[in-house]
Amino acid sequence: MVLPALLTSLEQSLNYYFNDKELLIEAVTHRSYYHECLDKSQPYNERVEFLGDSVLGLAISETLYIEKIFCKKNDKLIHTIFSESEMSRLKSHLVSKKILSQLALDMNLGQYLKLGKGEEMTGGREKLSLLANTLEAIFGAVFLDGGYDTAKKVIIGLYQPVLTQILNSHTSFDFKTELQEISQKLFSSLPDYKLALEAGNDHNKDFVYDVYVGGKRMGSGRGKNKKTAQSEAARIALEALACPKTPETPETPKTIDDEPDAQYNTAEHNNNE
């Protein structure tokens, strides 16, 4: 099968050329296109996205396990490996919809999508959640077409700038512990984490947590589980506390949860795990 020139351009961005071109077409086909198309022989990408999510998780986990970093401890740089807790936090961050959607935007993935008319009219090509899901589907398609080693090469190739930044950041990545120590020193109290939003299906949850320090909201973070969301909130709070001019108005990053097709369950309770 000969791909349209546009999808050939996508292969160039991936630095991978499919043997089975139908797999790539499936990966970029949204369910809205399938439901509006009379020809039902072309599947849409939700099944291969499910597979791609697992392939991505394994590739990132393996990379974090193998990599060594320079970490600052006691004002000295030492060559070390990631601990299990650090790997867990970093993996959750790296496979998040926030990172996936940014990678998708960087490669202009929206232009390659096959969307139904309704999704097209509501700005589907720019929806962060849709872009992130499509990129996961592409990872799954590469895995089916070329195997795990090939899929990992494609994934790490796209992730390299993000990974390089992390490996060279010289931090311990334990944002919650660091925030706890600062909060106790400044306010004689522990940070208070509150669940702000909970979105997604049971198998694909997204959590958003706000963190309060000294009674004031200092950060908001999101993740696939509570620990990751709280860690991200702690990271943003630390940045806010380091900038005395704006301690009460920390940066709240744009998230996929702001989009009209997202569904939420809100909750008000504390979690200091």
Q: Which residues pair with 70 in a beta bridge?
A: 79
Pair type for strands 76-81 and 68-73 = antiparallel
Q: Is residue 136 flagged as an active site residue?
A: yes
Residue 200 is encoded by which pair of tokens?
A: 């997604």
Q: Which of 136, 198, 210, 257 is catalytic?
A: 136
Q: Which residues pair with 197 in a beta bridge?
A: 208
Q: Which residues pair with 71 in a beta bridge?
A: 78
Q: Which of 26, 49, 53, 206 is catalytic?
A: 53
Backbone dihedral angles phi then psi of residue 168, each to the nearest 5 degrees: -105, 10
Q: Which residues pair with 210 in a beta bridge?
A: 194, 220
Q: Hey, what amino acid is at 154?
A: V
Q: Do 34 and 43 contact (CB within 8 A), yes or no?
A: yes
CA dist list (Å): 116 to 32, 37, 130, 160, 174: 5, 8, 13, 33, 44
CA 43 to chain centre: 25
Q: Do 43 and 29 contact (CB within 8 A), yes or no?
A: yes
CB atoms within 10 A of CB 111: 11
Give the C-alpha separation, 114 to 139, whole Å: 17
- Gyration radius of the chain over CA positions: 20
Indicate which residues carry an active-site annotation. Answer: 53, 136
